[in-house]
Structure 1
Amino acid sequence: MASAVSARSLVNDPIPRTLWQMTWPVIIGVLTLISFNVVDTFFVGMLGTDPLAAVSFTFPVTFTVVSLAIGLGIGTSAVLARKRGAGREEHARFDGTIALVASALLVASLSVVGLLLMDPIFAALQAQERLLPLIHDYMYIWFAGATLLVIPMVGNAVLRSSGDTRTPSLIMASGGLLNAIFDPILIFGLGPVPALGVQGAALASLISWTIGTVLVLWYLKYKDLISLKVPQDAHPLRSARQILAIGMPAAGANMLTPLAMAVLTAIIAGYGAPAVAAFGVGTRLESLASVIILALSMSLPPLISQNFGAMQFQRVKDAYTTALRAVIVLQLGIYLLLLVTAPYIAMVFTDDPEVARLIRLFIYIMPLGYGMQGVIILTNSSFNAMHAPMSALWLSIVRLFVMFVPLSYIGSLLADMTGLFIGGVVANFITAMLAWYWFRRFLQKEWAQDVQNSQQEAV
């Protein structure tokens, strides 16, 4: 199913309508996928506090791999969209194939390293000794199938580069649905299927990734969006370098998030397994609460990139501003909803009074900063869309390791977990203001340079 949004409409049609047309299918896909990830946490939580804490310890590690895949998707979309906009369709098809192969090889390599260094990694995260067998059960299967995670993600980026935002959303939604179906069957057992516990949660993910890989590869070939035919002036290594030139800094920026989360997890581990379990639930809820941010971070870049390439800088500014206003208002509404439902959410995820208390504490404080976090994320994605990945990388470094981790740690020293959460919110507010200023300055510089070039050409 092709998107109703064409490349022509991206540079001509009204910004709010165009952005909405591109974003709503992505919202549905991301919401469905993340909802079932929350369901995954719910089922693991039914096994007890230790299994929930064990899986929570894996989040920084698994998200590192996911962040690499997201970054590679960003590089893929940026390079392919630019070539399709220039009418170089044959090159775009070949580069799509290279992107899939290169991404699979990189994630496979990272997974091997993860398997070899599993014990030192989780020791550094301060995982308790009794949790290590559960962590091993989960991560051996997860790492073994990680390559099948990245292929659908990069394949979806190839689809978005062609202007199709609906099909990637359907693929994401179907993957989440399959995972939610397989989760209870494999975790608790059904008929001849034995109860596999946390292994079952990992295996459910692996099965859904496998089906997603088959579907996306078939659809890409069916739509003639990938090809092994090498264009006359193309080379596989050159194509890979173009994608990685944007993809690796973008991946680096994304991978800083789980690194920061790993540091926070190590800090929180000092408060015991209930604190780690609650933080794990909180981060999953954060993903669900940030669905609009995530959707806009996928739909905004093609709009920014097309207009930036067409030198329509006012439309770039308008698109960025429209997205920021929407995300701030909507996230405030989501915060109020979470505030009201916090006690019920905690009851759904755990019977442990201490875990429930900490989940409520997380909900009362952390979502207050999600709107500002959205400003930062959308600024990052806009920088990548304008082929300025190093600006996005530096913004991520400042946000996480100059602001978020230090202020959260200082807060924990002053007021334990309450202070840690407040420190994170303050960090998001400060960094959001910096991100807004940084983007406007960058755009004004490019705008002025274009005016200067036009004047020189006129002379």
Structure 2
Amino acid sequence: MKDLTEGPIAGHIVQMAVPMAVGMLIQTLYFLVDLYFVAQLGDSAIAGVSVGGTVMYIVLGLTQMLGVGTVALISHAVGRKDVDDANLVFNQSLVLSALCAALTLALGYGLGDSYLRSIGADAETTAAGLTYLHFYLPGLALQFALVAMGSALRGTGIVKPTMIVQVLTLLLNIVLAPILIAGWGTGHALGVAGAGLASSISIAIGVVMMAVYFLRMEKYVAFHGELWRPRLHTWKRMLGIGFPAGGEFALMFVFMAVIYTVIRDFGAAAQAGFGVGGRVMQSIFLPAMAIAFSTPAVAGQNFGARKPERVRETFRTAVLMSCVVMLALTLLCQWNPAWLVSRFTSERDVIDTGAQFLRIILLNFVAQGIIFTCSGMFQALGNTWPALLSTTTRLLIFAVPALWLSHQDGFRIEHVWYLSVATVTLQAALSWLLLRGQMRRRLATIT
């Protein structure tokens, strides 16, 4: 356990953000390597993996629901020096992770086909997406165990073990991708199925490594079988904080589904270009996400320790860091977005769509950094409903006009990207205003 209630706030954020950024960088490297080999299979394969990968947002929603509640409650317990409550929350998060894994497999295999048929640009894209999803679902289900263990450590101020395991599993994934997708060394290329299988194998090994760490090295929170009996009161505490955060990512699934729906008439190349551009964009977001993911533990421990000024300082420091980093990345990436996309495909239509997407979407990077930081602070304060309200508002003001525009004469794909920029900017302003109100009310209770 690391005490984050003393010492410089900026130092704590940096010390937590750097290892997380390294882990995220390796994760992004995997995404890009995976994308590179899938891109060699053609537009339909890229589009299929991109469309099939949208299911990940549902899983991210559920893992956020689990992880955010775990981080918040454990960080508060650490701030209060309440070891028993920290262990209860951790072990109940393991029970919930098993239930969520079973739900993911049931819904994924049961409803995946219908979902992909509704948004795929053509039959070939749908088939590729379904194949990828079937092999990726076991890995998505195992993500819950990884999140439960990693979130427990983050709540205690420890991130390096999670980062090390993440790096090792992602390096394994990078090695497996060309072997399983392209058949390097084996002569048996599995195509998009190999992409999903590589992920599932790597995540399974990561779960084993994290379990071994907890069994042999972790002392503050640990596995306790007697705490695995379902405790509905603890679930209510965790889900009260985590459910809205999970809802944010569930809405991101809806958001992505809307985009794929409104651009499907532009063909598989357009869906592939958006898929490539989206992966590149995610990699650019990494530094701001690392800062935002550090915020709940730092602010949360200080909230639990009843130190309101340090909570306020955490927000000021984190949002400043995030805005500076995102502004620098915006300026850096404006020079040649087509070059970034062309690293993964030689298809001109795909490159043009992806580059156009990046050139426009880069305009909202600073606003996105503010949103990330505000979401982290809502988690630290133990009330994530305002963040869900902010995301819901953004979805409504994006989806309704986007669907309307797609049926108008003269509709062009760039209209979707400009609408996205406008709605993200509005969401950032709303998140900021909601957070100010939450900080005023919540911090008054610990003054």
Q: TM exceeds 0.5?
A: yes
* Alignment partners' CA distance in 1, 2:339 and 2:333: 10
| Per-residue CA distance 1:318-340 (angstroms, 9 max, x = gap) | 21122112212211211222222
| Per-residue CA distance 1:198-229 (angstroms, 9 max, x = gap) | 00001100110011000011111221322225
| Per-residue CA distance 1:142-196 (angstroms, 9 max, x = gap) | 1233222221122111111221111212222222211111000100113335110
| Per-residue CA distance 1:354-375 (angstroms, 9 max, x = gap) | 1111111012110220220121
Asked if the contact 1:186/1:204 (under 8 Å) is kept, the reply is yes
* Alignment partners' CA distance in 1, 2:139 and 2:12: 37
Give 2:19's aligned residue: 25
Instruction: Say yes or no: does 1:85 pair with 2:79.
Output: yes
Give 1:372's aligned residue: 367
* Alignment partners' CA distance in 1, 2:84 and 2:443: 31
Instruction: Say yes or no: does 1:239 pair with 2:250.
Output: no
Instruction: Say yes or no: does 1:337 pair with 2:332.
Output: yes
Residue among 266, 269, 274 paired with 2:264? 269
Q: Which moved more, 1:260-269 or 1:338-347?
A: 338-347
**C-alpha root-mean-square deviation of aligned residues, in Å?**
2.1
Superposition deviation, residue 448 in structure 1:
4.1
Give 1:455's aligned residue: none
* Alignment partners' CA distance in 2, 1:398 and 1:347: 34
Superposition deviation, residue 239 in structure 1:
2.9
Asked if the contact 1:159/1:220 (under 8 Å) is kept, the reply is no
Give 1:145's aligned residue: 139
Instruction: Say yes or no: does 1:15 pair with 2:9.
Output: yes
Instruction: Say yes or no: does 1:323 pair with 2:314.
Output: no
Instruction: Say yes or no: does 1:422 pair with 2:418.
Output: yes
Number of corresponding residues: 443
AA at the equivalent of 2:380: A
Asked if the contact 1:304/1:316 (under 8 Å) is kept, the reply is yes
AA at the equivalent of 2:180: L
Give 1:382's aligned residue: 377
* Alignment partners' CA distance in 1, 2:191 and 2:120: 23
Superposition deviation, residue 94 in structure 1:
3.7
Superposition deviation, residue 411 in structure 1:
6.6
* TM-score, normalised with respect to structure 1: 0.91
Instruction: Say yes or no: does 1:99 pair with 2:93.
Output: yes
AA at the equivalent of 1:325: L
Give 1:433's aligned residue: 429
Following TM superposition, the consecutive aligned residue runs of length 4 or more in structure 1 with deviations greater than 6 angstroms are none
| Per-residue CA distance 1:356-412 (angstroms, 9 max, x = gap) | 11111012110220220121122122112111021222122112223x334555676
Alpha-carbon spacing, 1:87–1:312, altered in 2? closer, same or farther (3 Å): closer
Q: Which moved more, 1:441-450 or 1:343-352?
A: 441-450
Alpha-carbon spacing, 1:193–1:306, altered in 2? closer, same or farther (3 Å): same
Alpha-carbon spacing, 1:410–1:335, altered in 2? closer, same or farther (3 Å): farther
Alpha-carbon spacing, 1:170–1:318, altered in 2? closer, same or farther (3 Å): same
Q: Which moved more, 1:380-389 or 1:439-448?
A: 439-448
Give 2:224's aligned residue: 228
AA at the equivalent of 1:368: L
Asked if the contact 1:405/1:424 (under 8 Å) is kept, the reply is no
Matches within 5 A, 1:441-456: 441-450=437-446
Instruction: Say yes or no: does 1:188 pair with 2:171.
Output: no
| Per-residue CA distance 1:335-357 (angstroms, 9 max, x = gap) | 22222232322221212111111
Q: Which moved more, 1:156-165 or 1:307-316?
A: 307-316
Asked if the contact 1:65/1:107 (under 8 Å) is kept, the reply is no
* Alignment partners' CA distance in 1, 2:233 and 2:303: 24
Instruction: Say yes or no: does 1:108 pair with 2:86.
Output: no
- SS of the residue 2:309 aligns to: helix
Instruction: Say yes or no: does 1:296 pair with 2:279.
Output: no
* Alignment partners' CA distance in 2, 1:321 and 1:400: 27
Give 2:245's aligned residue: 250
Matches within 5 A, 1:278-293: 278-293=273-288
Q: Percent of aligned positions with the same letter in both sequences? A: 29
Instruction: Say yes or no: does 1:260 pair with 2:255.
Output: yes
AA at the equivalent of 1:211: I
- SS of the residue 2:6 aligns to: coil
Asked if the contact 2:291/2:321 (under 8 Å) is kept, the reply is no
Q: Which moved more, 1:22-31 or 1:342-351?
A: 342-351
Asked if the contact 2:5/2:305 (under 8 Å) is kept, the reply is yes
Asked if the contact 2:277/2:341 (under 8 Å) is kept, the reply is no
Alpha-carbon spacing, 1:391–1:172, altered in 2? closer, same or farther (3 Å): same
* Alignment partners' CA distance in 2, 1:285 and 1:248: 29
Give 1:457's aligned residue: none
* Alignment partners' CA distance in 1, 2:330 and 2:168: 28
Alpha-carbon spacing, 1:87–1:315, altered in 2? closer, same or farther (3 Å): closer
Superposition deviation, residue 72 in structure 1:
0.9
- SS of the residue 2:336 aligns to: helix
Superposition deviation, residue 450 in structure 1:
4.9
Asked if the contact 1:332/1:368 (under 8 Å) is kept, the reply is no
Asked if the contact 1:68/1:251 (under 8 Å) is kept, the reply is yes
Superposition deviation, residue 230 in structure 1:
3.5
Give 2:350's aligned residue: 355
Q: Which runs of 5+ in 2 are unaligned?
A: none
